[in-house]
């Protein structure tokens, strides 16, 4: 009887220790969201910023305005492309790091984590140097004879995709690696001994095992891409406008708190809905693969 009692006491202690921190985190996250939710139904007043009320006009204005619809679709498109690219490029790296037994593995992981220690603004500034008309990318293409004169790379959607993917790629790799390291790689050898080729082994064995990491990494990266601010502003310029800079402009520059709050709520709801749906579909797809 002593062991169950001790376990029960330990569980209650853990809950009691985690409860205060959980409440603080919940308040930090939920209070601003609830305030934005309430503000989004107010009316904009140029003199007092907003007037108390309850109207859906802010949401109607957003979805009926072609400009803001384009901002929303551009944000979804960039986030989807960056998430897909980070998954395609990150999975082989994560697989290599999880499987390798080299003594330099810790150094490779440090090199992977190092970019996370540098702010997004600094990294975006570095990409501005690379992608500028006199930057390294144009100089290399001219040297290789691909182009005769510099082409516009900076302040384009391509620049935003490149910069954002570079920012989120380490998150995808680290998330996938943590799952793949728990994998028993002997199952690959077993599959090949049973006649499966490399593609079949990857599709039917490795990928289903990595599905939790794929789902978690995809959700994390998609959320980061949807809410990116510094990279789209510095690399996109006037070439593309995304949701985070746009809603910041409404609140900080136009002082239109009701409309900015409605944009923030739309961004939060759309991001979470799409991320959770994609995660559920990934889990569902590969659970079926493993049970078939």
How far, in Å, are 106, 248, 279, 281 from residue 38 at the CA level?
A: 48, 18, 29, 32
**Reported pTM:** 0.84
Contacts 24+ apart (CB under 8 A), 253-258: 255/46, 255/49, 256/44, 256/49, 257/39, 257/42, 257/44, 257/49, 257/50, 258/39, 258/40, 258/41, 258/42, 258/43, 258/44, 258/50, 258/58
159, 153 Cβ separation under 8 angstroms: yes
pLDDT, tens digit only, all 292 positions of the chain: 445 544 455 556 556 666 777 787 777 878 888 888 888 898 888 777 778 888 899 999 999 999 999 999 999 999 999 999 999 999 999 988 888 877 888 888 888 888 888 888 889 989 999 998 888 999 999 999 888 898 999 999 999 999 999 999 999 999 898 888 877 777 877 877 777 777 778 777 788 778 888 888 898 899 999 999 999 999 998 889 999 999 999 988 888 899 999 999 999 999 988 888 887 777 676 666 556 5
The DSSP line for 193-233 is: HTT--HHHHIIIIIHHHHHHHHHHHHHHHHHHHHT--HHII
257, 42 Cβ separation under 8 angstroms: yes
- The phi, psi pair for 197, rounded to 5°, reads -80, 180
pLDDT value of position 275: 84
Partners of 44 in the β-ladder: 50
229, 194 Cβ separation under 8 angstroms: no
Q: Which CATH number fits domain 55-291: 3.30.910.20, 1.10.3720.10, 1.10.10.10, 3.40.50.300?
A: 1.10.3720.10
pLDDT value of position 234: 92
236, 106 Cβ separation under 8 angstroms: no
pLDDT value of position 1: 46
Helix (H, G, I), strand (E, B) or coil at 155: coil
**Residue 156 CB neighbour total at 10 angstroms:** 17
pLDDT value of position 13: 58
C-alpha of 159 from chain center: 17
């Amino acid at each position: 009887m002593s062991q169950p009692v001790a376990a029960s006491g330990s569980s209650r202690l853990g809950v009691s220790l985690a409860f205060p921190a959980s409440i603080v985190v919940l308040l930090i996250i939920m209070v601003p969201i609830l305030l934005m939710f309430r503000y989004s139904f107010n009316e904009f007043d140029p003199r007092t910023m907003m007037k108390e009320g309850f109207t859906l006009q802010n949401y109607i204005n957003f979805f009926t305005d072609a400009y803001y619809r384009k901002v929303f679709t551009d944000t979804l498109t960039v986030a989807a492309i960056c998430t897909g690219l980070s998954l395609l490029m990150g999975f082989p790296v994560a697989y290599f790091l999880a499987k390798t037994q080299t003594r330099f593995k810790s150094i490779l992981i440090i090199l992977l984590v190092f970019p996370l220690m540098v702010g997004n603004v600094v990294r975006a500034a570095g990409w501005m140097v690379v992608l500028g008309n006199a930057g390294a990318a144009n100089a290399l293409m001219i040297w290789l004879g691909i182009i005769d004169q510099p082409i516009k790379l900076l302040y384009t959607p391509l620049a935003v995709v490149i910069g954002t993917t570079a920012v989120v790629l380490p998150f995808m790799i680290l998330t996938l690696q943590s799952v793949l390291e728990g994998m028993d790689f002997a199952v690959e050898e077993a599959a090949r001994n049973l006649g499966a080729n490399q593609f079949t082994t990857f599709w039917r064995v490795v990928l289903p095992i990595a599905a939790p990491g794929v789902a978690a990494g995809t959700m994390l990266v998609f959320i980061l891409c949807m809410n990116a601010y510094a990279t789209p502003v510095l690399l996109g310029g006037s070439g593309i406008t995304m949701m985070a800079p746009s809603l910041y402009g409404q609140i900080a520059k136009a002082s239109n708190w009701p409309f900015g709050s409605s944009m923030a709520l739309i961004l939060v709801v759309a991001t979470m809905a799409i991320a959770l749906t994609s995660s559920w579909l990934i889990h569902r797809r590969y659970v079926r693969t493993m049970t078939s």
